[in-house]
Every structure is written in structure tokens, then in C-alpha cells.
Structure 1
């Protein structure tokens, strides 16, 4: 399965649009991570536990999007984007979405 943030896959021809596909995950902060992040705010620097949490969330959202694309017969997803939003205090959604297509 090819993934592109462009409107097409370079070197390939889109022969059929199959519609919007998306995948998302909602994750909450771990109390231990939150405590350490709070302490890190005083001294500055990267919050590595949150960086790892977001990376895991993006990977899971992509895998779910690709699963939906496969289910409609796609062999590529173009114009892929990410979105994040707060669901409730301490929980956020990461969504990956794009257009499922058939390329040759």
C-alpha cells in the first residue's frame, strides 16, 4: 500500500477514486508521564514520553486508515493528513485521513 501526502503517487496513474478513509485513536496521559512532564516544564526541554506517545498514536492511526483503505479495494492513499484534538482533560485523539485510490 502506497501512502502519499501529495494529491497523487509520483510515477503512478490514479485510475479510480474510492473515497475518504480515516483511522484514529484516542490516548490518555499516564499519571507517571504527566508528573515527569510537569517537572520537565520547570527546566525546559523535550517531553520524550509525550513524543513517544504521539508517535505511537500516529502509527496506530495510519494502520487503521490503511485497513479501511484495503477494505474498499485501494492500493494507495493520497493527500494524507493528520489531525489532533482534545477529547477530554488528559485525553487526545490523533486522526490520519486521506483519499483511497487505485493506481496502476
Structure 2
């Protein structure tokens, strides 16, 4: 499955637009990570536990979006975007969305 942020695929023709596909996940912070983040805030630097958490969340959202596209019979997903929103104190939703298409 080709997953891209462009609205066209070089050298390919979009034969059919199948519609919106999306995948999301909600992740909560961990108290141990919060302590480390507080220390990093004092001295500076990357909070690697949070970086990994968000990276894993994006990958899960992409997988769920791709499953929706496969169920529709898509060959590709175009115009892929991500959004993040806080759903409660200490928890965020990662949403990946795009347009499922059939290629000619």
C-alpha cells in the first residue's frame, strides 16, 4: 500500500476515489516518564520516552488507517495528514487520515 502526503502519484493515474480513511489511537503519559520529563525540563534535552510514545502512536494510527483502506480495496492513500489533540489531562489522541484511491 502506497501512503503519501501528495494529492497525486507520479507516473500513476487515480482511477477511483474510494473515500476518507482514518486511524487513531489515544495514549496516556506515564508517571515515571513525567518525572524524567521534569528533570529534562531543568537541564534541557530530548525526552526520549515521550518521543518513542508519540512515534509508536503515529505508527499505530497509520496501521489502522491502512486497514480501513485495504477493506475498501484501495491501492494507495493520498493526502495523508496527522493531527493531535488532548482528550484529557495527560492523554492525547493521534489521528492519521487521508483519501483511499484505486490506481489505473
Normalised to the residue count of structure 1, the TM-score between the two structures is 0.97
Query: Unmatched 5+ residue regions in structure 2?
Result: none
- Give the count of matched residue pairs: 104
RMSD: 0.6
**Pairwise mapping of residues 1-104 of structure 1 onto structure 2 (< 5 A)?**
1-104=1-104
Which string of whole-angstrom CA distances, capped at 9 and with x for unpartnered residues, describes residues 46-66 of structure 1?
111111001000000000000
* Superposition misfits of 4+ residues, deviation over 4 angstroms: none
Q: Counterparts of 1:24 and 1:82 in 2: how far apart (Å)? A: 9
Alpha-carbon distance, 1:9 to partner: 1.6
Q: Counterparts of 2:50 and 2:69 in 1: how far apart (Å)? A: 28
Alpha-carbon distance, 1:39 to partner: 1.0
Query: Unmatched 5+ residue regions in structure 1?
Result: none
Which string of whole-angstrom CA distances, capped at 9 and with x for unpartnered residues, describes residues 49-91 of structure 1?
1110010000000000000001111010000000000000000
Q: Counterparts of 1:58 and 1:26 in 2: how far apart (Å)? A: 10
Alpha-carbon distance, 1:8 to partner: 1.4
Q: Counterparts of 1:91 and 1:18 in 2: how far apart (Å)? A: 32
Q: Counterparts of 1:102 and 1:38 in 2: how far apart (Å)? A: 48
Q: Counterparts of 1:11 and 1:64 in 2: how far apart (Å)? A: 27
